């Protein structure tokens, strides 16, 4: 982005920073939520959306994202305001970020070439990202020396306590320098509190997606592939997603059986969708292999990667089942039944899905379950008290907006 366009912004540029430089459902929605909240506070603000890589994500319903290195060179000594838009940024290291920002067709070659040795992959990640940061999606005064405010918007870091000492030290040092810090789950809050860092606890930004963008989402549901998907399931459907690491034959066989049981017992169709197309996210080829293993025929793969189509698919479903945290959070915002499914390798760990659900979910709703529990958990979720789900949706939206208000005010007014 040229300096001339930056100078047209407010006297103090507002930089919205996050992992919306790759195709990931939740991260791309964060940028829209922050943008809307900024404009509700002041109509003339023109925030700059920045990521580690310069990417035009508008074709997927996202933003035209400026690369951080370019932005820092232009505004390093300017009195900018920085808002970390959200997400599990406290535990994303440079290697993970670099792989996820690579082209899907190149990712496996990069992993094979650089992944076996820590020094090889660290050097490649530094070269690829243009930074020596260990936790590159968390930035502070080392990047913008004259920043007037730096805020973190309902971020997460569930596994921070298990990361190595240098990584933790960098994260904690950066957090001690921010002006506003909120986290989205009690587990992350506790980890930071133990390290002497106080953080406010508020729901995830996507908690307000139905309140802020329902008209846009409903409009998407009436047109194109989303309308076709609804017509294909006159008795309704479940929105189902799972990440590519579920793709081994044995795991797919178990998952196919559970989805067959759900479909037969509920009478609902199964609409499979991707909540992310970046490397280490979701893989449409794995979905096709799953469908081939299912005996139930009322199943389709929704190919659209537009984040508003994904929102519409979930919003008009009978419920959500999958590994995506933000699939669950959109379902929560629309007061729909929801269940997260855990990969067998992660069943004994507290991941971000379970940590979030344990913090904010109604008592009767299952949190995150193993594959072989999915059908039973979804049956129970579909029988949930809809009034209770609606109350919780309203409560979470209200709590998020109240918690984010001071962040927005600080960014715009100091």
Mean pLDDT of 353-366: 95
Residue 369 domain flag:
yes
Of the chain, the end-to-end C-alpha distance in Å amounts to 25
Mean pLDDT on 6-21:
76
257 shares a domain with 310? yes
Average pLDDT for residues 201-222, to the nearest whole number?
96
Instruction: Determine the structural domain holding residue 39 and report its residue range.
Output: 3-93+134-201
pLDDT > 60? residue 9: no
Q: Which residue has the higher pLDDT, 224 or 61?
A: 61
310 and 379 housed in the same domain = yes
CATH assignment of the domain containing 195: 3.40.50
Q: What is the pLDDT of residues 399-412, one digit of tens each?
A: 999 999 999 999 99
| pLDDT band at residue 147 under the 50/70/90 scheme | very high
Same domain flag for 197 and 216: no
Over residues 377-398, mean pLDDT: 97
Based on the fold, state whether residues 347 and 230 are members of the same structural domain. Answer: yes
Q: Does the structure show a pLDDT above 50 at 8?
A: no
145 and 224 share a domain? Answer: no
Whether residue 105 is contained in a domain is answered as no
Q: In this structure, are 256 and 138 located in the same domain?
A: no
Asked if residue 161 belongs to a domain, the reply is: yes
- Within-domain flag for 375: yes
Q: Are 276 and 375 found together in one domain?
A: yes
Specify whether 185 is located in the same domain as 229: no
Domain count of the chain?
A: 2
- Based on the domain organization, do 290 and 365 belong to the same domain? yes
Q: Clarify whether residues 261 and 284 are in a common domain.
A: yes
Residues 166 and 310 in one domain: no
Establish if 119 belongs to a structural domain. no
C-alpha distances out from residue 90 to 43, 139, 162, 175, 276, Å? 31, 10, 12, 9, 19
Answer for the pair 183, 204: CB distance below 8 angstroms, yes or no: no
Q: How high is the pLDDT of residue 73?
A: 92
33 located within any domain? yes
What is the gyration radius of the CA atoms in the chain, in angstroms?
21
Helices 209-221, 325-333: inter-axial angle, 10-degree rounding: 90
């Amino acid at each position: 982005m040229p300096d001339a366009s930056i100078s047209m912004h407010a006297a103090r540029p507002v930089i919205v920073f996050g992992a919306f430089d790759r195709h990931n459902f939740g991260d791309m929605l964060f940028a829209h939520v922050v943008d809307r909240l900024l404009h509700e506070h002041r109509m003339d603000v023109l925030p700059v959306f920045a990521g580690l890589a310069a990417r035009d994500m508008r074709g997927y319903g996202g933003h035209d994202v400026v690369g951080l290195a370019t932005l820092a060179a232009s505004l390093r000594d300017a009195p900018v305001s920085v808002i970390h838009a959200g997400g599990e940024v406290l535990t994303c290291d440079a290697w993970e970020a670099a792989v996820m920002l690579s082209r899907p067709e190149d990712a496996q070659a990069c992993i094979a070439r650089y992944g076996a040795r820590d020094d090889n992959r660290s050097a490649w990640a530094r070269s690829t990202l243009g930074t020596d940061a260990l936790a590159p999606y968390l930035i502070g005064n080392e990047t913008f020396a004259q920043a007037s405010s730096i805020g973190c918007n309902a971020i997460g870091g569930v596994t921070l306590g298990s990361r190595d000492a240098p990584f933790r030290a960098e994260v904690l040092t950066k957090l001690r320098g921010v002006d506003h810090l909120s986290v989205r789950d009690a587990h992350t809050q506790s980890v930071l509190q133990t390290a002497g860092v106080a953080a406010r606890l508020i729901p995830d930004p996507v908690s307000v997606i139905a309140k802020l963008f329902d008209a846009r989402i409903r409009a998407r549901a009436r047109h194109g592939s989303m309308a076709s998907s609804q017509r294909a399931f006159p008795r309704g459907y479940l929105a189902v997603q799972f990440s590519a690491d579920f793709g081994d034959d044995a795991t797919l066989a178990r998952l196919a059986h559970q989805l067959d049981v759900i479909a037969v017992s509920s009478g609902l169709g199964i609409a499979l969708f991707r909540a992310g197309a970046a490397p280490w996210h979701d893989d449409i080829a794995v979905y096709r292999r799953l469908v081939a293993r299912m005996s139930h025929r009322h199943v389709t793969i929704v190919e659209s990667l537009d984040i508003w189509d994904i929102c519409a698919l979930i919003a008009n479903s009978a419920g959500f089942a999958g590994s995506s945290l933000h699939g669950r959070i959109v379902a929560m915002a629309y007061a729909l039944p929801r269940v997260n499914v855990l990969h067998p390798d992660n069943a004994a760990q507290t991941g971000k899905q379970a940590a979030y659900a344990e913090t904010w979910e109604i008592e009767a709703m299952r949190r995150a379950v193993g594959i072989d529990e999915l059908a039973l958990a979804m049956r129970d979720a579909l029988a949930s008290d809809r009034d209770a789900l609606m109350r919780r949706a309203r409560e979470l939206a209200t709590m998020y907006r109240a918690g984010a208000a001071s962040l927005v005010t600080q960014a715009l007014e100091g």
